[in-house]
Amino acid sequence: MNRPVSRRATVLYAISATCAAIGALLWARGQTSSPPRVYGSYLAADGYTSSAWRVWSPTVPEARLGLYLIAAGLVLAVAARLLFVRRD
């Protein structure tokens, strides 16, 4: 007979799902944002940005951060699955 899933497993699965969901949103945001246009020597992004809220460092684009979070969510879900299946 199967035992019910422990509370720890539920928390780990919720964290991994949250990481994956935030990662998917960031990846989609990074895919839809257009690069700044240059007008002569003036960079258009200096005067206007699509979002004033910076998620991450300028050296890591939001799309790449999103992929990292998706991967972290998947790794955490697999690790939780292996850990709690092994204990049963």
For residue 9, the model assigns a pLDDT of: 84
For residue 50, the model assigns a pLDDT of: 53
Q: Is the dihedral of CA 43, 67, 54, 51 positive or negative?
A: positive
State the Cα–Cα distance between residues 82 and 21, nearest whole angstrom: 21
20-69 residue pLDDT tens:
999 999 888 888 766 555 555 555 555 555 555 566 677 778 888 899 99
What does residue 39 show for φ and ψ, rounded to 5 degrees? -110, 100
How crowded is residue 20: how many other Cβ atoms within 10 Å of its Cβ?
19
State the Cα–Cα distance between residues 59 and 71, nearest whole angstrom: 19
pTM, two decimals, is 0.67
| Nearest partner of 84 among 13, 16, 21, judged by Cα | 13
